[in-house]
Structure 1
């Protein structure tokens, strides 16, 4: 299947982190390329991180590899609290099970565009060092395993 440029619709990201970790909406937008192509074993999206925004809470994946390749703009990649600025042509690799907490920040006044890829292990657990937060196959939990309320439970 061929996906022509701009044929995959843009989706505005809406954070699904529980409070107090939620990032709201409008921080990034994406085109989920592998979803549009019907692929299921890995995921690739063309993401745009908007100026002044952060992509996620700092995290690492227990069972999923992650890969990023920057196409336009500049990103500050923060790994275990250490910032590094990357530019078009630079890439990042985060190996599953390696405790390198990472997040992206766009500290510029221009959008940053990159490809982000990851495996889709249904048993993955995402860890957020320094936060009382885990993402499990069953949903978000506190570190002690207590589930966070799902959207609508508190309303």
Structure 2
């Protein structure tokens, strides 16, 4: 059987960002659908954003395309160009290498569910538009190369 039973997929709450960057994302949840079932060329996540939660810090990827599709609820897409409301059925795409920091924010009074899809590239560098942070396979670091301590570390 190939049908995925979402109740069997672990739910991850919060983010791995170093403090204090993790705070706006603390209530978000994600279920990693692709890795759980052996897919490696691209990632698929089911993201749930409660009211007030962010999907991430505003970011862009050097080598990974991203696609989001709002399944339920309403979110605000924040990019370098401004803000757009996305409702159920709306989607947005972000090409690798385009330095347009983006994220989703739930400003509504109910949960939003979003499908996130992106390719996987071990050479990708993620740049964060509003904060002094980069991320790659080695972890989070400042733009000058100084690593952030691991989450929960000193």
TM-score between the two structures when normalised by the length of structure 1: 0.91
Partner Cα separation in structure 1 for residue 44 and residue 143 of structure 2: 29
Partner Cα separation in structure 2 for residue 143 and residue 102 of structure 1: 18
Partner Cα separation in structure 1 for residue 139 and residue 88 of structure 2: 34
- 5+ residue gaps, structure 2: none
- In the other structure, the counterpart of 1:4 is 4
User: Shift of the alpha carbon at 1:12?
Assistant: 3.1
Q: Moved runs in structure 1, 4+ residues, more than 3 A?
A: none
The SS at the match of 1:27 is: coil
User: Shift of the alpha carbon at 1:24?
Assistant: 6.9
User: Shift of the alpha carbon at 1:25?
Assistant: 6.4
User: Shift of the alpha carbon at 1:141?
Assistant: 0.8
CA RMSD of aligned residues (A): 1.8
CA 1:117–1:88: 2 relative to 1, 3 Å: same
- 5+ residue gaps, structure 1: none
Partner Cα separation in structure 1 for residue 16 and residue 6 of structure 2: 26
- In the other structure, the counterpart of 2:19 is 19
**Is 2:75 the partner of 1:75?**
yes
- In the other structure, the counterpart of 1:94 is 94
Question: Which aligned pairs between 1:1-155 and structure 2 lie closer than 5 A?
Answer: 2-23=2-23, 26-80=26-80, 82-154=82-154
The SS at the match of 1:52 is: coil
User: Shift of the alpha carbon at 1:130?
Assistant: 3.0
- Kindly tell me the number of residue pairs found equivalent between the two proteins: 154
Partner Cα separation in structure 2 for residue 31 and residue 138 of structure 1: 23
Partner Cα separation in structure 2 for residue 150 and residue 52 of structure 1: 26
TM-score between the two structures when normalised by the length of structure 2: 0.91
User: Shift of the alpha carbon at 1:153?
Assistant: 3.6
